């Protein structure tokens, strides 16, 4: 049997484990899925290790049972406002005797590009190469084999707070599993939902979760901007709970069943039933009243994303538009709300190019988990070929270099 990998998405509202492997036809085959409510996170960050560990244990146990495999470790996703992305450049001279660029020079230039000052309380998660220049020639994807005297690299560096990484890893270990890798969530989600063409043309991936919105912008095949916002579907549910004076659980149920993000999409005569607090009889109200609670919050979330798109300076270049995913994007009218606020075409994104339990995981809540599985498979194959698999210290420096060759 090939290497079985577990993608572990520890979200603010749910933890999900996706088990799979690459089959003999080179397809990613999903063989187990487990989901458990998350109780130990706030806005994507672990705030209670024991609670997080018990969600992890439940999710992996369930996935193991379904897959018929016991696993020892997982590829773990990380998010939260503390994760930051920045662009950086590095330059090296090609000094070998025939002035030809080999993987050694590429490694050197990427190392040079990541020699930015990283505060001691932060750790590099990923170093993603965007493009290279050789002498005066720019826009080179892979400079290996080219001749020149000067090699320049442009990279996107993703860093995270050390304590938050540690708490996440402690939670996984407390649950009895090893952390094979820590991956910034949207990078994995992109792996599952975006096509190569979209990444080339320019696309913004927006993962609307329960407590975070992860944004990642691709242009010309590389990551150019990342951002994590501390908002999500939980805020929509809270608004409904307050607005309709109904408990959180029923607000959540109402949202999923009748929620809509755009008023125009709802028929003025449509009625819905709302359970009330304290044993009172359920009430009926116009669905438009519910929409009037949801629409401003969804619009606000989209405006926050739009602000980030503008900050990136790349908004006008994103020919492939927006791809929305995550449970929070499942509310009716989400695509329309995004298109309206950002004046860009949008589509829903779910995991693609998978077999096995496809029907179970090809929904927006699982994009991240499947992405982590796919990412993990790709990395393990590559590492298996080139390096001995090392035990994860905190986050290995070598990883960033590896990613540039995938
Ligand atoms: N059918 C649905 N309609 C509307 N909202 C939904 C639906 N299904 C799930 N959601 C919302 O999706 C959110 C959870 O999404 P998701 O599972 O992607 O988040 P998470 O990964 O747990 O959190 P985060 O990524 O923010 O850490 C919840 O707020 C939930 O209410
Ligand atoms: Mg999530």
Query: Which CATH architecture describes the domain 196-349?
Result: 2-Layer Sandwich (3.30)
Measured in Å, residue 62 CA sits from the centre of ligand 2 at: 19
The reported pTM is: 0.94
Q: How far apart are CA 119 and CA 95, in angstroms?
A: 32
CATH code 3.30.1490.110 region(s) in the chain: 84-160
What would the pLDDT profile of 198-247 be if each residue is shown by its tens digit?
Answer: 999 999 999 999 999 999 999 999 999 999 999 999 999 999 999 999 99
Measured in Å, residue 195 CA sits from the centre of ligand 1 at: 23
Q: Is the CB of 126 under 6 A from ligand 1?
A: no
Q: Is the CB of 81 under 6 A from ligand 1?
A: no
Q: Is the CB of 52 under 6 A from ligand 1?
A: no
What would the pLDDT profile of 39-54 be if each residue is shown by its tens digit?
Answer: 999 999 999 999 999 9
Residues 6+ apart with CB under 8 A from 339: 322, 345, 346
| Consecutive H or E run containing 212 | none
Q: How far apart are CA 226 and CA 349, in angstroms?
A: 18
Measured in Å, residue 9 CA sits from the centre of ligand 2 at: 7
For the cut 70, the answer to whether the pLDDT of residue 383 exceeds it is no
Measured in Å, residue 233 CA sits from the centre of ligand 1 at: 6
Could you please state the CATH topology (level 3) that the domain comprising 84-160 is classified under.
Answer: Dna Ligase; domain 1 (3.30.1490)
Q: Is the CB of 210 under 6 A from ligand 1?
A: yes
Q: What average pLDDT does this structure show over 129-156? A: 95
CATH code 3.30.420.40 region(s) in the chain: 196-349
Residue with tokens 């000067």: 150
Q: How far apart are CA 246 and CA 255, in angstroms?
A: 12
| Nearest Cα to Cα of residue 178 among 25, 280, 76, 321 | 76
pLDDT of residue 1: 53
Q: Is the CB of 159 under 6 A from ligand 1?
A: no
Pairing, β 28-37 against β 14-22: antiparallel
Q: How far apart are CA 231 and CA 5, in angstroms?
A: 30
Measured in Å, residue 328 CA sits from the centre of ligand 1 at: 4
Q: Is the CB of 211 under 6 A from ligand 1?
A: yes
């Amino acid at each position: 049997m090939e290497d079985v990998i577990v993608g572990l998405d520890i979200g603010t509202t749910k933890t999900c484990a996706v088990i799979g492997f690459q089959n003999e036809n080179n397809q990613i085959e999903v063989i187990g899925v487990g989901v458990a409510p998350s109780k130990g996170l706030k806005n994507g960050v672990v705030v209670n290790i024991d609670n997080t560990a018990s969600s992890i244990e439940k999710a992996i146990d369930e996935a193991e049972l379904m897959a018929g495999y016991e696993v020892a470790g997982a590829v773990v996703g990380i998010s939260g406002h503390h994760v930051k992305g920045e662009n950086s450049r590095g330059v090296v001279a090609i000094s070998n005797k025939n002035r030809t660029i080999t993987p050694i020079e590429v490694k050197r230039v990427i190392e040079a590009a990541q020699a930015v000052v990283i505060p001691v309380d932060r750790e590099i998660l990923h170093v993603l190469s965007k493009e290279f220049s050789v002498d005066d020639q720019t826009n080179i994807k892979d400079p290996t084999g080219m001749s020149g005297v000067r090699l320049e690299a442009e990279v996107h560096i993703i860093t995270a707070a050390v304590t938050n990484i540690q708490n996440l890893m402690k939670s996984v270990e407390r649950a009895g599993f090893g952390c094979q890798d820590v991956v910034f969530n949207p990078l994995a989600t992109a792996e599952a939902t975006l096509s190569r063409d979209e990444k080339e043309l320019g696309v913004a991936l927006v993962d609307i979760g329960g407590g975070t919105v992860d944004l990642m912008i691709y242009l010309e095949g590389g990551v150019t901007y990342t951002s994590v916002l501390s908002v999500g579907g939980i805020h929509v549910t809270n608004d409904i709970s307050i607005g309709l004076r109904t408990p959180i659980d029923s607000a959540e149920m109402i949202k999923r069943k009748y929620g809509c993000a755009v008023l125009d999409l709802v028929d003025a005569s449509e009625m819905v039933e709302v359970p009330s607090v304290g044993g009172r009889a359920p009430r009926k109200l116009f669905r438009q009243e519910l929409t009037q609670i949801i629409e401003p919050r969804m619009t606000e979330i989209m405006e926050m994303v739009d602000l980030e798109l503008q900050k990136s300076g790349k908004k006008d270049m994103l020919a492939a538009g927006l791809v929305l995913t995550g449970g929070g994007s499942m509310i009716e009218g989400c695509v329309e709300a995004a298109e309206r606020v950002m004046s860009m075409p949008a589509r829903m994104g779910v995991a693609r190019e998978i077999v096995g339990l496809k029907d179970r995981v090809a929904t927006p809540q699982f994009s991240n988990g499947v992405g982590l599985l796919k990412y993990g498979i790709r990395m393990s194959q590559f590492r298996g070929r080139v390096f001995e698999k090392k035990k994860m210290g905190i986050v290995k420096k070598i990883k960033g270099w590896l990613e540039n060759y995938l």
